[in-house]
């Protein structure tokens, strides 16, 4: 084996050799070559990763045992078959909305709570989009339960994630984090659908009598609450353009369909999607 492989830099090939040890053929190296290997950055980094992984695993087992008397960790867990072929980059604890040290009973309770909301049997009568969104979440919830509801699978999952955490601390290489689906956007869409129905907002305006006789075009500024991509909900001025036909009969009523949440007229529209805003124009009494 060429010594050039161990050039003191942290690389994938060196890390692999350092992790495998004698299985990678170090037994065929001379004593001097083995000494250089063990002094290499890659070997030392892997040793530190293994030390951290051991610390993380022991700390995790201790915290779980304190919360769950039924938790009985066994080394056999790490060689057992997985109940689900998990993706270590997915945080299944966040999917169920629980702490990573919660006992098995709480994992099951969280799954049941979410199933009562997102199970396909609970979506009858909903729109096609709602049913798809609920199904997306339920699949993620079900997968999370398969991983965390089985002791061996959960311990393997935790160990893989702890290894990524240790490696990131030692080498600075961040582990990839992802989700098969963007649950954030799905939940936002569901939340939007579940908001109270919009209110019809009526605004009364007084105009001079001659405007009904000759006709008039007016621009009325009003404040309304709108969603800004960066700032969230903000108050903005919106211009409503009104046109009164010549010879129009009093009152003139002009409606604007779905014009966003409104903050005028006290609490009109606060927390609601405004269905319709109506301008009711009456002659000014002198």
pLDDT in tens, 148-194: 999 999 999 999 999 999 998 888 777 666 555 555 566 566 566 55
pLDDT beneath 70: ranges in the chain: 1-27, 175-198, 226-232, 258-276, 279-286
The answer to whether the beta carbons of residues 101 and 157 sit under 8 Å apart is no
Other CB atoms within a 10 A radius of the CB of residue 256 amount to 17
Q: Which of 177, 195, 159 has its CA nearest to residue 82?
A: 159
Q: Residue 88 and residue 35: Cα distance in Å, rounded?
A: 35
Determine contact, residues 17/26, Cβ cutoff 8 Å.
yes
- What pLDDT sits at residue 155? 96
Residue 254 belongs to what H/E stretch?
Answer: strand 252-257
CA proximity to 244, closest of 259, 235, 254, 236? 254
Helix (H, G, I), strand (E, B) or coil at 56: helix
Residue with tokens 């604007």: 256
Res 137: pLDDT = 87
Predicted pLDDT of residue 222: 83
What confidence score (pLDDT) does residue 274 get? 56
pTM above 0.85, yes or no: no
Pairwise CA distance, residues 142 & 100, whole Å: 17
The pLDDT value recorded for residue 262 is 38
Pairing of strands 200-207, 276-283: parallel
CA angle (250 as vertex; 245, 256 as ends), nearest 5: 65
- pLDDT for residue 122: 85
């Amino acid at each position: 084996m060429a010594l050039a492989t161990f050039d003191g830099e942290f690389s994938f090939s060196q890390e692999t050799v350092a992790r495998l040890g004698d299985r990678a053929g170090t037994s065929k190296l001379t004593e001097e070559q083995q000494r250089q290997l063990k002094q290499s950055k890659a070997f030392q980094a892997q040793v530190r990763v293994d030390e951290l992984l051991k610390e993380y695993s022991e700390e995790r087992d201790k915290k779980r045992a304190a919360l769950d008397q039924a938790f009985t960790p066994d080394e056999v867990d790490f060689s057992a078959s997985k109940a689900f072929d998990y993706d270590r980059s997915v945080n299944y604890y966040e999917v169920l909305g629980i702490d990573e040290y919660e006992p098995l009973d709480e994992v099951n309770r969280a799954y049941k709570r979410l199933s009562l909301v997102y199970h396909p049997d609970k979506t009858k009568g909903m729109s096609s989009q709602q049913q798809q969104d609920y199904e997306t979440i339920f699949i993620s919830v079900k997968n999370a339960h398969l991983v965390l509801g089985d002791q061996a699978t959960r311990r393997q999952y935790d160990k893989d994630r702890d290894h990524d955490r240790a490696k990131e601390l030692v080498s600075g290489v961040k582990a990839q984090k992802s989700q098969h689906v963007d649950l954030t956007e799905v939940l936002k869409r569901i939340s939007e659908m579940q908001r109270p129905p919009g209110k019809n907002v009526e605004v009364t305006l007084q105009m001079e009598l001659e405007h009904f006789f000759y006709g008039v075009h007016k621009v009325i500024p009003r404040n309304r609450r709108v969603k800004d991509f960066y700032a969230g909900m903000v108050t903005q001025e919106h211009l409503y353009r009104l046109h009164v036909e010549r010879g129009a009969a009093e009152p003139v009523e002009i409606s604007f369909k779905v014009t966003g949440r409104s903050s005028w007229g006290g609490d009109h529209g606060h927390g609601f999607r405004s269905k319709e805003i109506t301008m009711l124009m009456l002659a000014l009494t002198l």
